[in-house]
Amino acid sequence: MNRRVFLKTLLAGGTISTAAVGITWFSIDMETQPLTIKHTLTKLAKIKQQLLAMTNTEDLISFTTGKWDLNQIFNHCAQSVEYSMTGYPEHKSEVFKQTVGTLAFSAFAAKGKMKHNLSEAIPGAPALLETKPLSTEYILTALSRFTTSLTDFESYTGKLQPHFAYGELSKQEYTLAHAMHFNNHLLELIVE
């Protein structure tokens, strides 16, 4: 591919991606809840109480409205937090992270809300298999993993790893990203 065609393709892709980020930004309402690890842990504690009160599998299945069950959602969110400390298995290109990724994170941070495909796995992460039969035990194990990842992150003092799409994030930015990420998944949970 010659340089001119490459640059036109890159610019066209960047324009489309930038437009998509702009559309996403305008379609998201501002978040009114605190975007902290502490507030996220409080939400998880309430969800745990609801789960413990459920007596049959049908209740567990109807607790979510998306493609993933609760086990998959909690493990996915835990993976994201863990990878911020240990490193993501795969990354978008540096060009993507420095353009589209940075723009997307800035747009999400400005609104305090994220919008993403809620059944898309983290690139290179182990598959999140549907739990059959779905049980409170599996879900509570996944919830505990997510809770532990958040408390580990909160006390973590080492170097944070670049996000696979957003690139380098500070601890404060990662806190925001983790809270927004879970809040987006929370839209598929039937919680009181």
Q: What is the pLDDT of residues 14-24, one digit of tens each?
A: 444 444 444 44
Q: Which residues span the domain enclosing 128?
A: 3-186
- What does the pLDDT read at residue 5? 43
> Is the confidence at residue 60, as pLDDT, over 50?
yes
- What does the pLDDT read at residue 29? 55
Residue 115 resides in a domain: yes
DSSP state at residue 100: I
b/e map 66-102, b = 16+ CB within 10 Å: eebbbbbbbbbbbbbbbbbeeebeebbeeebbebbbb
Residue 192 resides in a domain: no
- What does the pLDDT read at residue 98? 96
Residue 8 resides in a domain: yes
Q: How many domains does the chain have?
A: 1
Digit-coded pLDDT (tens) for 85-142:
999 999 999 999 999 999 999 999 999 999 999 999 999 999 998 888 888 888 999 9
> Is the confidence at residue 39, as pLDDT, over 90?
yes
Average pLDDT over residues 45-73: 87
pLDDT confidence bin for 192, thresholds 50/70/90: low
Residue 100 resides in a domain: yes
pLDDT confidence bin for 190, thresholds 50/70/90: confident
Asked if 24 and 115 touch (Cβ cutoff 8 Å), the reply is: yes
- Mean pLDDT of the residues in the chain: 85
Rounded Cα distance, 80 and 122, in Å: 7
Residue 45 resides in a domain: yes
Digit-coded pLDDT (tens) for 151-177:
999 999 999 999 999 999 999 999 999
Residue with tokens 């806190």: 175
> Is the confidence at residue 3, as pLDDT, over 60?
no
